[in-house]
Amino acid sequence: MAVADVVVSLGVLASFYALLALGMNVKYGHTGLLDFGHVGFYLIGAYTAALVVLPAASSDPSTVYLVGFDLPWIVAAVVASLLAGVVGAFVALPTLRLREDYLAITVLGVSAIFQRIVQAESWLVNGPDALRGITPPLTGLFPLGGRSVTGAIAIALIGGAIWAATAWALGRALDMGDTGVGAHEPAGDARADGSGDPEPQASLAERLHAIATLGTDRFLNAPDPDPGSGTDPDPDSETGTGASVGSSGGGSRASSIVDGLERRPYVGAALLAGAVAGVVGGAMTFVAPVGLLVWGTVVSVFTWLVLLVGLDRYAAGFDRVDYAATLCLGTGYMLALAPMFYLDTIMLWVPLTLLAFAIVVGATIYLRANWSRFVSQPSRYATFAGFWFGVLWYFPIQVLSPLVAGESMTVATRVFNNIVWILSFSGAEPVVGYTRFQLFLFGSVVFLTVYATELIVDSPFGRVLRAIRNDERVVSSLGKDPFIYKVQSMALGSALAGLAGALAALYFQTLVFTMFAPRVTFIALLMMFLGGVGNNWAMVVGAFLFWAFQTATTQLAGFVAPGLREHVQAFRFVIMGVLFLALLYYRPEGLLGERSRAGRGE
């Protein structure tokens, strides 16, 4: 299996956990409400969605449930979100009037009650046994080729959505200017030697954005984002008109969202460009025998280019020395794993691997404390060291064995398969498999949900939530009732957890009560702190990094004897706890930190 298939599966798994972390972020990150029972709403969403899509009568006598409605999945997701949100609001009503501490304890107890009800009542959702028979949508259409009307339409939708999302990401990066992620660190152009002028990178990004939007920005009369202006065209600023907490007045929250869309001209250009690209791609795959391969290659290469441009802009101020240093660090961490791959005796590779890691970690700590370049840009160095590690794992490591054996065709095939990640090459012809469709479906839900949440928290309503988090006495003094806003925040965060549960039911297709243990809540908390508290997009980063760590440690456990494999997989929770403590100590704001709402940057 190509490593691209592993990454796609990882992305599917991380997507609904990102929604779970997003719900926690709305409660705690934006409002300051600590919810230790967040998993309870995740459980409600999962089982509600399952009952909505299951048939009225089970075909399996070992599967018993109260009722099935046999409705589409989109209805199930909406119902699951609404029910979880309503339950969250009702749980908050009697506790928030006391203290937030009571909320954390009460919701923890409520989630345990939900889990015990599911476990004990066999007539409800099959009790302690697994609830089976959950069928994902549209499975009969896959794998998809391009030489059919259905396949062409589906490929047009998938390719167009990916193109639109990628063009939007590039437009957002340009719109954020040179003070985006990592702006808390000094830019390279501020160095004494004057090196690291980011102007060439900005010009490259602008040219790529012009290509990505296919000229639709001119059709919409939307100006290209100006990376050098440093202005804030969207309603992020809390210092502008109506920015005060009390300015929301009787204004409509929906009008704030519409106003936010109007102030982001690159959104419409990206959507229109995605539609045009989707139509062209669908027609190409339907008409030409190799159209699907060509279209998949174009879309995949485009996403890689945007990723590289985004990293290039993030690395504003990096020069050759910085790139070489981070490459050496990433290579060092990869080489530290070499004894595990090439030594058969556990008594040899375990101490050698630990020694190698100790050397690399020690070198990293030393550079972090003593090298001025590393000291001035620690998060950029950490990001690029991880990036080089991922690049080495994604490309060279996968072709190392055939390269040594002289199998050049195998090397070229593997590299091409990993570049064209949008297509599956497991059969005789390239196709779009169901896992890719799930990534598209879940990714679209996550993208739209996070984007809508961003608009909400940038509105006057979101400013009130952050004011409550900072000091609710200020909110009360301005005539707002903090209690009402807290209940709404609980409802919104719980609804997002319910939506995550609905997607989890769609993904796993089987539900067991043990999947909703209290540790899931703390996993969501870990993802939130890992990405950055109060930063909605950082929830996606936190979820992906968490599951990347889980997947990597699971694969590494395969090199251990079967008798010790379970202990190694359990030991990763210890490692995870140590890393979490280190993160809280050295970077309590998370990897990305909270995006400043008073201007651009971190």
Which tokens in the block code for residue 147? 């030489």
Q: Are the beta carbons of 392 and 334 closer than 8 angstroms?
A: yes
Count of C-beta atoms within a 10 Å radius of residue 485: 18
Lowest mean pLDDT among 230-234, 414-418, 494-498, 564-568: 230-234
pLDDT over threshold 50, residue 181: no
The yes-or-no verdict on residue 294 having pLDDT over 70 is: yes
3-state secondary structure of 220: coil
Q: Does position 200 have pLDDT exceeding 50, yes or no?
A: no
Q: Which H or E run contains 295?
A: helix 291-314
The pair phi, psi for residue 424, each rounded to 5°, is: -105, 135
- CA–CA dist 357, 352 (Å, integer): 9
In this predicted structure, what is the pLDDT of residue 211?
83
pLDDT at 484: 92
Per the model's pLDDT, the better-predicted residue between 514 and 267 turns out to be 514
DSSP 317-337: T--HHHHHHHHHHHHHHHHTT
Predicted structure pTM score: 0.84
What is the tens place of the pLDDT at every residue in 348-374?
A: 777 888 898 899 989 998 998 889 888
- Residue 507 makes CB contacts below 8 A (sequence gap 6+) with 12, 13, 16, 136, 438, 442
Does the structure show a pLDDT above 60 at 184?
Answer: no
pLDDT over 80 (residue 555)? no
For position 561, what pLDDT does the model report?
62
Ranges 40-44, 67-71, 240-244, 553-557, most confident: 40-44
Q: What angle do CA 430, 433, 435 make, to 5 degrees?
A: 140
Please give the pLDDT value at position 148.
Answer: 79
pLDDT of residue 248: 44
Q: How far apart are CA 281 and CA 157, in angstroms?
A: 9
User: How much is the mean pLDDT over the chain?
Assistant: 82
CA 587/CA 595 separation, integer angstroms: 15
pLDDT at res. 174: 77
Q: What is the pLDDT of residue 568?
A: 66
Q: What is the pLDDT of residue 38?
A: 95
Is the pLDDT reported for residue 271 higher than 70?
yes
The one-letter code for the residue type at 11 is G
pLDDT greater at residue 196 or residue 367: 367
CA dist., res. 504 & res. 39, Å (int): 12
pLDDT band, very low/low/confident/very high, at 565 (cuts 50, 70, 90)? low
Q: Which residues are within 8 A (CB) of 109 and not within 5 positions of it... i.e. 6 or more apart?
A: 37
* pLDDT for position 229: 45
Q: What is the pLDDT of residue 255?
A: 54
Least confident range of 238-242, 251-255, 528-532: 238-242
- Which range, 140-149, 287-296, 426-435, 442-451, has the best average confidence (pLDDT)? 442-451
Q: What is the DSSP string of 77-139?
A: HHHHHHHHHHHHHHHHHHHTTT-HHHHHHHHHHHHHHHHHHHHH-HHHH-TTS-B---PPTTG
For residues 574 and 549, what is the distance between their CA atoms, to the nearest angstrom? 13
Of 88-92, 319-323, 375-379, the least confident: 375-379
146 compared with 538, residue with greater pLDDT: 538
Which of the 8 DSSP states describes residue 27? I
